[in-house]
Amino acid sequence: MIRQATTTDFPELADIYHDASLLAHPFIDPQFIAKDRKHFRDERLPLTEAFVYEVNGQILGFISISNGHINGLFVGVDHQRKRVGTYLVDHAKERHPCLELYCFVDNYQAQRFYHSLDFEITGELSHAQLPLEQYIMQWRSVA
């Protein structure tokens, strides 16, 4: 089931963010990710519209969106490659005619995932806090 996240979910979402980020971003210093967990929970999540994918009361993953920009899609490490991310992106597509996100150039797995969901690379930019490049990826509804 997909439902809107509540503030009481934020600590659990921050844990999912942390663990999934360590796995997906081996090119980022783990200390940066650990320090960013609190900022993510307290500063970024409250400013977004977040949806969780939940089964039997357990949150398996979530998507965070602001004005059609996907700020994050994170799936629990034990639940990856089980379509959770696809369900969450499909939910976002139902709510927005255009979606955009930033994906690290070195995150090949995420690029393949988003390409499989019809996102295209439309540009590049530097990360604001890290010396890393990111792709701008975009999806537009054909309807």
Phi and psi at 48, nearest 5°, equal: -120, 170
Answer yes or no: is 48 within a domain.
yes
Euclidean distance between CA atoms 73 and 110, whole angstroms: 10
Euclidean distance between CA atoms 56 and 110, whole angstroms: 27
Structure tokens at 23: 């796995």
Answer yes or no: is 25 within a domain.
yes
Closest CA to 119 of 140, 92, 139: 139
Answer yes or no: is 55 within a domain.
yes
Q: Give the pLDDT confidence score for residue 128 in this predicted structure.
A: 84
Answer yes or no: is 122 within a domain.
no
Answer yes or no: is 143 within a domain.
no
Task: Go through 99-126 and write b for each residue having 16 or more CB atoms within 10 A of its CB, e for each that does not.
Answer: bbbbbbeebeebbebbeeeebeeeeeee
Query: Residue 83 sits in which domain range?
Result: 2-99
Position 75, amino acid: V
Answer yes or no: is 28 within a domain.
yes
**Domain containing residue 21: CATH number:** 3.40.630.30
The pLDDT profile of the chain, 143 residues, written as one tens digit per residue, is 999 999 999 999 999 999 999 999 999 889 999 988 988 899 888 888 999 999 999 999 999 999 999 999 999 999 988 999 999 999 999 999 999 999 999 999 999 999 999 999 999 999 888 889 999 999 999 86
**SS3 state of residue 72:** strand
Q: Structurally, how many domains does the chain consist of? A: 1
CA contacts within 13 A on the Cβ side of 84: 21
